[in-house]
Amino acid sequence: MMSQKSAFVFSELFEQFQAHENYPWLFARSRVTYDLCRANGLIKDGNTKVVNPIHATRDQLATYHKRAYLDLLLRANVGVFEEAMLKNGLGTLECPVYKGCFEYHSLAVGATINAAQLLQEGVDVVFSPTGGFHHAGPDFASGFCYLNDINIALNLLVEEGHRVFYVDIDAHHCDMVQDAFYEDDRVLTLSFHESGKSLFPWASGFETELGRGKGEGFCVNVPLPAETDDESFLWAFTSVFPPLCQAFEPDMLVAVLGADTLYSDLNSHLRVTNSGYCQAVKLISQQRHKLLAVGGGGYNLDSLSRAWTLAWAIISGFSIEDESEFSFGGQFWGDRIASLRDRPLFIPSDTREANRRECERVVNYIEKNAFPFHHIAR
């Protein structure tokens, strides 16, 4: 175990909320991850601070969101739909009106604010699985996101004088985080996601989007083609993330560890296993900066809980490279309860080769057009 202070943000209240029966958002995400971490000895009394979050205040929410939108969302909290809500994205299939929708999301924002405050109070690593709502706009809900906890936390950190590197490996582009900091050089936003050519939010996240004004060069996107596997994902991640992070010299990292990047998740078309995912998380943790990690997307309880348990093990200092040394209870594939690792995934060679060429094209564009802003040699 590394000598660092870590905290896990968790509340049983998250699971008490529920939208309609077929709504894909998994309110149990925090609990199943927390339970699996505890079952595998990754949250031990005295080594990890378990934090019970509190709701964000209206003033905190208003550091990003418009107060009129907050009033509307508070009306939606009773679970009664009004037609006027549609213009703000409320009452759609992806952002339905349900009882407690304001309470749930204000608690999620509160959890991420708590995490940001802990970093400033001396904690080194904080993980809040119920966080990462990067599609919510100032006055609208979108993509299962009603309130943008990330932008609120980033605003808090930069106002305190911190230089923040934001990295997002969710399958979906962080469109509203990019929008909020597109002209700002205090936050460098880096997103690895499935291309908008094949996945929501469609119209953003292309490599040509580099920022504007003071923020030019401080927005970097790596759109991945559908069917991207571990090899191409990791090649792109290794080519772009470490040099940018080292050149930017942040004092804090904010990471969205979306588990919908994994092949077992039906809400994207990527073919990454949690072994490849963990290697990216390890590269993030090796930067040795204070780290605020949030869950982001994930629509399969089994795969997200295993991925986030492995991610927590990495960022909180456990070694998981050798499963004979750290075997998570000694379970192997032949047992009733499988290892936390995904099985290897077969990808046809022609698909791998085509996707590698596309990843190389995107990375070459970034090296040519974004790296010079940070004096990174190609």
DSSP 8-state assignment for residue 163: -
| Active site residues per annotation | 135
Query: Considering only CA atoms, which of 48, 43, 45, 41 is closest in space to residue 123?
Result: 48
What span, in angstroms and rounded, lies between the C-alpha atoms of 299 and 148? 19
Q: Amino acid letter at 29? A: R
> Angle CA(142)–CA(148)–CA(151) in degrees, nearest 5?
135
Q: Which helix (H) or strand (E) holds 129?
A: none
Query: DSSP state, 374?
Result: G
- Residue 211, by phi and psi: left (phi above 0), alpha (psi -120 to 50) or beta? left
d(CA 365, CA 236): 12
Torsion of CA 80, 86, 88, 94, to 10 degrees: 80
Helix axis angle, 101-120 to 67-76, nearest 10°: 130
Distances (CA, A) of 349 to 142, 230, 352: 36, 13, 5
Vertex 299, ends 149 and 194: CA angle to 5°?
Answer: 80
As beta bridge partners, residue 6 has 48, 125
Q: Up-side HSE of residue 250: CA atoms within 13 Å toward CB?
A: 31
Cα 18 from Cα 27, distance rounded (Å): 7
In the block, which residue shows the tokens 């989007």? 209
Coil, strand or helix at 131: coil
Burial 182-194, CB ≥16 within 10 A → b, else e: bebbbbbbbbbbb
Q: Which of 288, 259, 300, 292 is nearest to 276 (CA)?
A: 259
Q: Cα separation of 289 and 378, whole Å? A: 24
